[in-house]
Chains A and B, each alone.
Chain A
């Protein structure tokens, strides 16, 4: 069983479109994250949710809107996609005791 699963793994779309990435974890963790890894490979936090509540919202354009219907799911919706949004987006959940992050396999977004 995959602990943290993201869909889709690959997404190719045109500028201006709207797209969503879904994430689910079956680890029972309360805290989930979205990270963006750009072409320079730097992992940057975008959002953090704890038990469905937004905890961290880094300086991210409001075209990005996370939604957490329950603590096992954290989805990411992106409006009006731009070229600079091309990156790999990783979902993660955090073990409450050890602090270890468990990542999904990533969703590679390419905006043309």
Chain B
């Protein structure tokens, strides 16, 4: 079993749609959690950290459930520019582990 698992995708949605990504992790010693975004042929960049109480940044909402070892990302009112691969990242002691990523395409 992979340490960090994500929805395989791809997700193809129209502009304005709401889309949700899920992620589960297996290491109970995981310390912190992130969502990264990777555009085609570019490097990954931090989208947002995920806090225990849940957090929002504009159209993006991240949730964490430590008991279920589950993380989610909700994107509201999708824009064409949201098209990218979204990577779930978990920090374990001394290391960072990446999910395989979920590809999102937002269409006009």
Q: Which A residues are closer than 8 A to B by beta carbons?
A: 33, 35, 40-45, 48, 55-56, 90, 94, 98-101, 103-106
Contact = CB atoms under 8 A, between A and B. Distances in A.
Contacts of B108: none
22 contacts: A33-B96, A41-B101, A43-B44, A43-B87, A43-B98, A43-B101, A44-B98, A45-B97, A56-B95, A90-B44, A94-B96, A99-B31, A99-B91, A100-B34, A101-B36, A101-B44, A101-B89, A101-B96, A103-B43, A103-B44, A105-B43, A106-B43
Contacts, number: 49
Interface string B22-48: 000000000110101000001111100
B100 A48 contact: no
Contact of B85 (A41, A55, A100): A41
A41 B101 CA distance: 8
